[in-house]
């Protein structure tokens, strides 16, 4: 059996324990890497991938605390406010462009040219 299949057969609490163990091992390995040479540097990658597998499976089940399910609910609640901010931002940019057209650098250059040619 592959690692993913084994994790999928576990209960949510068991997956969280695997996640916690992998995170602790990763922490210890990172500290060890700072102080001395690691015997198997590939263990860092293995633990990161184990953590990612656990997070992915829990997110698919909707059981991650503070994970994808909670984030999407928060984003849905903030959507009207974000749209309002985007509209206001676009309007202010349009106003800046219009103001630049009325008295911006380009209009000053053309007016100078006109003034010189009229003299």
Query: Is 86 found in the same domain as 45?
Result: no
Residue pair 38/32 in contact by the 8 Å Cβ criterion: yes
Considering 40, 65, 90, which residue would you say is the last residue of a domain?
A: 65
pLDDT band of 45, cuts 50, 70, 90:
very high
Distance CA 91, CA 104 (A): 18
Q: In Å, how far are 55, 86, 90 from 83, measured between CA atoms?
A: 30, 5, 11
Domain that holds residue 105: 78-119
Q: What pTM does this model have?
A: 0.52
Reported as a single tens digit per residue, the pLDDT across 63-113 is 765 544 455 555 666 666 767 667 776 766 666 666 666 655 556 666 666
Q: Is the pLDDT of residue 8 over 80?
A: yes
Phi-psi region of 66 (alpha: psi -120 to 50; beta: other; left: phi over 0): left
Looking at residue 25, which CATH number applies to its domain?
1.10.287.310
**% the chain with pLDDT above 70:** 55
């Amino acid at each position: 059996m592959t690692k993913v299949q084994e994790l999928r057969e576990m209960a949510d609490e068991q997956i969280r324990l695997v996640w916690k163990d992998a995170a602790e091992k990763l922490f210890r390995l990172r500290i060890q890497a700072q102080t001395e040479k690691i015997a198997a540097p590939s263990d860092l990658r293995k633990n990161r991938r184990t953590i990612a597998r656990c997070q992915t499976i829990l997110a698919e089940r909707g059981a991650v605390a503070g994970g994808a399910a909670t984030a999407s609910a928060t984003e849905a609640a903030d959507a009207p406010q974000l749209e309002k901010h985007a509209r206001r931002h676009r309007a202010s940019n349009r106003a800046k462009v219009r103001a630049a057209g009325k008295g911006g650098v380009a209009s000053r250059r053309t007016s100078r040219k006109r003034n010189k040619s009229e003299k």
